Amino acid sequence: MGRISLPDLHISLPFLMRQKLSVGIDIGSHSIKVCQLEPASDGYRLAGLGSAILPSGAVEDGVLQEPEIVAETLKKLVTNLKIKGRKVAISVSGYSVIVKKINLAVMGDEELASHIEAEAEQYIPFDIDDVYLDYADLKTNAEDEDRTDVMLVAAKRDMVEGYLDMLKAVGLRPVVVDVDAFALENAYGANFGGGKEIVALVDIGASKMNINIVSRGTSILVRDVVLGSRLITEQIQSHFDITFDEAEAIKIGLQDAGERKKDIEDICVTVCTQWVTEVKRALDFYYSNYPDEKIDKMVLSGGGAKVKGVAQLFSEETGLRTEIFNPFARAEANPARIDPDYMKFMGPEMALAAGLATREVAF
Ligand SMILES: Nc1ncnc2c1ncn2[C@@H]1O[C@H](COP(=O)(O)OP(=O)(O)OP(=O)(O)O)[C@@H](O)[C@H]1O
Ligand SMILES: [Mg+2]
């Protein structure tokens, strides 16, 4: 889909330089994030970074409800950021996306390709003709075993096409459609990959969490949970009977909480504890399948990772060392184009966009 093929010219004069990496665009329910990276000798150079808040309801459960508003917001954002590349990578999640690890008899690539639809049908709650299907053989079989794990991804066509049409309306060319949890994994791999560790990646957005347990570079468990930082805002709003915008401003520290401080802290702890409960469920499920494969650490990202004390709470409750993700650990920025403080401040929210920005563009 969307892949193009041009002859390689072997010329790299600046004005002929072609885009090597896709522009990462993460369309969340709270905001659109854009990240553009360029390959550098020791990692990446950050060429563009920015976000724009979306009105409530424009994106719900991963579906574009108001494509015109999203298109308009994205167009302004890429124009303001002077993003030159047209080839973009996006990711999807939500109820229209199914990610499932299935266990199949070992087959050759061609045989698997011809079998996968029939196999997939029983795991997908949608008509097989209504979904885009992709898969990867994880090749988990040891030498003498005849079964292997295959990661299966299905995304409803109408949802994906909603995104593709919206991007085309903005004049962008989608070259990669990823899944949120895998974009997160790519972001982590691009910065800290290659190790033997087992890491629980948890992205806490406004309305959902993506959990991905990655063992030695391979996803073992992927789970989405419909809980996020918006819940804190809603609880502050109803507790103090104030507007959503005021509650949001207080939550993120733009407005002084004053005497409400203690109550707000309590609300944050209550909601964060709900997040931890869901993460613990995923960890329990993982340990029931891999009792001897100890997780080394947990890495939090998304706007929810900015709640004060959240890493400590996760660490205390799960017993895992917990860090806040910096998706730009291997990226340097041109300070004339990108404020280093902004880059640091936005790091947690930019995890998915950064992962999408590491995807190579096929020529
Ligand atoms: N300092 C902060 N403390 C608490 N919450 C914060 C802070 N900064 C941002 N947030 C919250 O993080 C959320 C936005 O995070 P993010 O950009 O990751 O969400 P999103 O990707 O748009 O949403 P989703 O992935 O759920 O669709 C908002 O609810 C915002 O209020
Ligand atoms: Mg998000």
Write the DSSP string, 112-155: HHHHHHHHHHTT-SS-GGGEEEEEEE-----TT--EEEEEEEEE
Mutate to test the pocket of ligand 1, among 184, 306, 308 (most ligand atoms within 8 A of CB): 306
Distance in Å, CA 38 to ligand 2 centroid: 23
Closest by alpha carbon to 30, among 349, 347, 305? 349
Residues with CB under 6 A from ligand 1: 28-31, 205-208, 228-230, 233, 248, 251-253, 302-304, 306-307, 349
Per-residue pLDDT at 363:
56
Q: Indicate the top mutation candidate among 56, 251, 352 to test ligand 1's pocket, ranked by most ligand atoms within 8 A of CB.
A: 251
User: To which CATH superfamily is domain 14-356 assigned?
Assistant: ATPase, nucleotide binding domain (3.30.420.40)
Q: Order across the sheet with 331-333: list the strands.
A: 173-179, 87-92, 23-27, 31-40, 43-53, 331-333
Place of tokens 């799960």: 318
Q: Which residue has the tokens 């004069």?
A: 13
Give the per-residue pLDDT at 12.
42
The secondary structure element, H or E, covering residue 331 is strand 331-333
3-state SS assignment for residue 10: coil
> Which one-letter DSSP state was computed for residue 21?
B
d(CA 322, CA 192): 15
According to DSSP, residue 56 is labeled T
- How far away, in angstroms, is 32 Cα from ligand 1 center? 11
pLDDT tens sequence for the chain (363 residues): 333 334 444 444 444 456 899 999 999 999 999 999 999 988 999 999 999 999 999 999 999 999 999 999 999 999 999 998 999 999 999 999 999 999 999 999 999 999 999 999 999 999 999 999 999 998 888 777 899 999 999 999 999 999 999 999 999 999 999 999 999 999 999 999 878 899 999 999 999 999 999 998 889 999 999 999 999 999 999 999 999 999 999 999 999 999 999 999 999 999 999 999 999 999 999 999 999 999 999 999 999 999 999 999 999 999 999 999 999 999 999 888 899 999 999 999 999 999 999 999 875
C-alpha span between 104 and 119 (Å, rounded): 9
Tell me, what's the pLDDT at 144? Answer: 77
Q: What is the pLDDT of residue 334?
A: 81
Q: Do the Cβ atoms of 242 and 173 come closer than 8 Å?
A: no
3-state secondary structure of 77: helix
The two tokens of residue 286 are 């993982």
Q: Confirm if 117 and 131 have CB atoms less than 8 A apart.
A: no
* pLDDT score of 190: 94
Rounded CA separation 214/138 (Å):
12
**Short-list 107, 337, 295, CA closest to 211:** 295
pLDDT attached to residue 7: 40
What's residue 213's pLDDT?
Answer: 97
Smallest CA separation from ligand 1 atom 11, residue:
303
* CA-229 nearest atom, ligand 1: 29
Nearest atom, ligand 1, residue 301 CA? 18
Residues in the chain: 363
| Per-residue pLDDT at 141 | 82
